[in-house]
């Protein structure tokens, strides 16, 4: 069909304007050069996965000798790979984000606002930057880690505001943190662990079982790994900012020192009846899947968490130390590295902790701010008078100020545990909505297969059932 100007369009539901038909950009070659050039969105997710779970939970669970539960982490990784493939499917096919897609679903305007508000309430806590602040305070002997956290929250705003393109700055930060944290922890852990310890931990990762005495709170966060819920959702923004697939035709969020760019309310679609266009779309899908598998699942998820679990187990069994829960896990591990490598080992580990946690808050705040700006842009006419960027930085500022206040409410670990508790519900919600969107709205030739639909829905049901059980039997608040 064509609109009044003769432009070919394809309907995407009956609420929002139809998609304009445009050519699918050619994907890069799926080789090492192409993978590294376009791996940014997967690197961001990989660096996000190097964070709270590893600092707060993995070492503690392993130190309690519950290593037999880590197989669940691998299962969760499999299903998160499937989910993020569907997240990218919609954005690479249309250039739109998931929020824009949700705006095409009935009831009109409900799913966009509901999703944005749900995300703010669940993710808008300074759990990761609080842990990084505690690490800085530990390193420099500062008694009030909350003050360090307040400064760090302000730094998030300043860094993004000073950027030319916000995404490019985020990608650079996450690249650096990903490399430093993964290589550093791997080196230190290998140096401190024994072959026997590695054997026990590896067995727990590979052989299914439920260790005696393990709690709901200990198992629950595994179902949200290596990312979870809205962290998977935000992949849509980083795919678009990278310009993958039809996202090439969209503007970017710029910093406050650069001119604002237009971010369209409505996306595009390619000719899904053309074998040539479908082949190009398949190329983008393959690139996204491989980059996610390498950088998000294997390196950022499984490898880093394996090192964290091995370090925690070694601390308890090899070195005979009592390993507490929460950020105090890092304190114990830092002391172990100090005893093994002297002051150098202690300082290096604290630096790794800071890198692993501090980068996560950048991505979390970026994702929330984009969701808010997206919702305002597509469900109101506010961007007619103020650019998309204004609403992004408005929410970013609110989050940073709130983070400064919330820093004094709870310890970073309790905030993180609450986020993961509610995150099980968020994971189920995001999975169900993404699958429904792709099945309902996308043209038939690029819809997810029945197998992908069944697997994603099955995992959503399992995770939500666990959320209900956790809430009834052992909720953290």
pLDDT of the residue at 333: 63
By the 8 A CB rule, do 35 and 291 touch? yes
Over the stretch 340-377, which tens digit does the pLDDT of each residue have? 677 877 777 777 767 766 778 889 999 999 999 999 99
Task: Tell me the percentage of the chain whose pLDDT exceeds 90.
Answer: 62
- Output 328-332 pairs: Cβ under 8 A, ≥24 positions apart: 329/55, 329/56, 329/59, 329/60, 329/63, 330/55, 330/59, 330/131, 330/134, 330/135, 330/138, 331/138
Q: Do strands 9-10 and 268-269 pair parallel, antiparallel, or not at all (unpaired)?
A: unpaired
The reported pLDDT for the residue numbered 171 is 95
Distance of alpha carbon 353 from alpha carbon 391, whole angstroms: 32
Percent helix, strand, coil in the chain, to 5, is: 75, 0, 25
pLDDT of residue 327: 54
Mean pLDDT value across residues 398-411: 84
Q: Is the pLDDT of residue 71 over 60?
A: yes
pLDDT digits (tens, 9 = 90+) for 147-191: 888 888 898 999 999 999 999 999 999 898 888 888 888 888 888
What residues does each domain of the chain span? 9-474
Q: Are 353 and 131 in contact (CB under 8 A)?
A: yes
**Residue 200 pLDDT more than 80?**
yes
Residues 197-225: what's their mean pLDDT?
A: 92
Averaged pLDDT score across all residues of the chain: 89
Domain 9-474, CATH homologous superfamily name and number: Amino acid/polyamine transporter I (1.20.1740.10)
DSSP codes joined into one string, 49-106: HSSHIIIIIIHHHHHTT-GGGTHHHHHHHHHHHHHHHHHHHHHHHHS--HHHHHTTSS
Give the pLDDT of residue 323: 64
Locate 469 and state its tokens.
């059980």
- 337, 87 in Cβ contact below 8 A? no
Answer yes or no: is pLDDT of 195 > 80: yes
């Amino acid at each position: 069909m064509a609109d009044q100007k003769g432009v070919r369009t394809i309907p995407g539901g009956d609420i929002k304007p139809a998609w304009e038909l445009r050519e699918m950009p050619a994907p890069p070659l799926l080789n090492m050069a192409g993978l590294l050039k376009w791996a940014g969105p997967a690197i961001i997710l990989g660096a996000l996965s190097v964070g709270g779970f590893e600092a707060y939970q993995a070492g503690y669970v392993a130190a309690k000798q519950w290593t037999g539960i880590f197989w669940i982490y691998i299962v969760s990784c499999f299903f998160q790979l499937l989910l993020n493939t569907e997240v990218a499917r919609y954005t690479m096919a249309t250039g739109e984000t998931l929020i824009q897609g949700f705006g095409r679903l009935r009831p009109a305007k409900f799913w966009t606002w509901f999703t944005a508000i749900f995300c703010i309430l669940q993710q808008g806590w300074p759990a990761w930057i609080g842990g990084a602040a505690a690490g800085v305070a530990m390193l420099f002997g500062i008694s009030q880690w909350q003050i360090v956290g307040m400064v760090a929250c302000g730094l998030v705003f300043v860094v993004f505001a000073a950027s030319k393109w916000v995404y490019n700055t985020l990608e650079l930060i996450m690249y650096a943190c990903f490399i430093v944290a993964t290589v550093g922890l791997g080196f230190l852990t290998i140096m401190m662990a024994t072959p026997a310890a590695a054997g026990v931990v590896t067995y727990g990762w590979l052989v299914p079982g439920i260790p005696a005495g393990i709690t709901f709170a200990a198992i629950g966060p595994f179902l949200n790994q290596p990312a979870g819920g809205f962290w998977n959702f935000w992949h849509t923004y980083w795919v678009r900012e990278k310009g993958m697939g039809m996202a090439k035709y969209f503007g970017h969020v710029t910093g406050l020192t650069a001119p604002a760019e237009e971010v369209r309310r409505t996306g595009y679609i390619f000719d899904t009846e053309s074998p040539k266009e479908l082949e190009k779309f398949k190329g983008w899908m393959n690139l996204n899947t491989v980059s996610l598998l390498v950088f998000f699942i294997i390196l950022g998820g499984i490898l880093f968490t394996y090192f964290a679990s091995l370090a925690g187990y070694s601390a308890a069994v090899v070195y005979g130390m009592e390993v507490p829960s929460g950020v105090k896990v890092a304190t114990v591990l830092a002391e172990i590295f100090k005893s093994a490598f002297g002051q150098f080992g202690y300082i290096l580990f604290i630096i790794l902790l800071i890198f692993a946690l501090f980068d996560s808050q950048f991505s979390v705040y970026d994702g929330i701010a984009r969701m808010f700006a997206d919702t305002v842009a597509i469900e109101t006419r506010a961007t007619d008078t103020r650019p998309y960027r204004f609403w992004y930085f408005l929410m970013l500022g609110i989050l940073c100020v709130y983070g400064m206040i919330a820093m004094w409410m709870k310890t970073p670990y309790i905030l993180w545990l609450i986020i993961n508790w509610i995150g099980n519900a968020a994971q189920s919600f995001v999975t169900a909505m993404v699958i429904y969107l792709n099945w309902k709205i996308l043209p038939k030739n690029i819809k997810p297969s029945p197998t992908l639909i069944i697997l994603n829905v099955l995992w959503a049901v399992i995770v939500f059932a666990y959320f209900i059980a956790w809430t009834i039997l052992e909720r953290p608040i």
